[in-house]
Amino acid sequence: MDWLNNLLIYDGKFLGVQWSIWKVVGWLGNAVFFSRVFVQWYATEKLKRVVVPAIFWWLSLVGSLLLLSYGLFHNGDSVFILAYAFTWIPYIRNLIIHRRHSAAEMDCPHCSKICPPHSCFCFACGTRLGVLEPEQSAS
Ligand SMILES: [Zn+2]
C-alpha cells in the first residue's frame, strides 16, 4: 500500500495540493458547478427533449457563489472574481420564473396529470380544466 500512499501524498501534500479551507471551498464549488451538466444531461435523456430542471439553477447558484467566495477570499484574481460576480442574477431570475410556472400548473381532476399553466383541457385525457372565460361559455 506504500505505492498508493506515495501516489496520493507526495511532497507532504495530498494530490500535490497545499490544502486550506478555501481550497476545499474552491474545489467544492467546482464539483457543484460541474455536476449541473450531468443533472441537465440526465433530465434531457430521461424525457428525450432538452430540459433544464430547477436543480440545474440551484447547482449553478451554489457552485458559482462558492467559486466567487474562493475568488474573493483566497484567489484574489480579478478575472476569476469578475467571472462569477454577476452570474447569480440570471440563476435567481430563472429560479423565480420556474417557481411561478410550477405554481401555475394545473392538476387534472380526472387522471391527476400535471398540465401546463392556462390549459383549457388535460393533454392526457382531454378533461376540461379550470373555469371557462365569459366569452368562451357564451358560445
Ligand atoms: Zn387528465
Q: How far is the CA of 100 from the centre of ligand 1 (A)?
A: 22
Do the Cβ atoms of 69 and 24 come closer than 8 Å?
no
HSE-up (13 A, CA, CB side) for residue 79? 0
Per-residue pLDDT of the chain (139 residues; tens, 9 = 90+): 788 887 788 777 888 888 899 999 999 999 999 999 999 999 999 999 999 999 999 999 999 999 999 999 998 899 989 999 999 999 999 999 999 999 999 999 999 999 999 899 999 999 999 765 556 555 4
Q: How far is the CA of 102 from the centre of ligand 1 (A)?
A: 17
Q: How far is the CA of 128 from the centre of ligand 1 (A)?
A: 8
Q: How far is the CA of 107 from the centre of ligand 1 (A)?
A: 8
pLDDT at 6: 79
- Cβ neighbours of residue 109 closer than 8 Å, sequence gap 6 or more: 127
pLDDT at 127: 94
> Looking at residue 114, what DSSP letter applies?
E
Phi, psi of 127 (to 5 degrees): -60, 140
pLDDT at 3: 82
Do the Cβ atoms of 70 and 21 come closer than 8 Å?
no
pLDDT at 132: 58
Helix axes 54-70, 78-85, angle to 10 degrees: 150
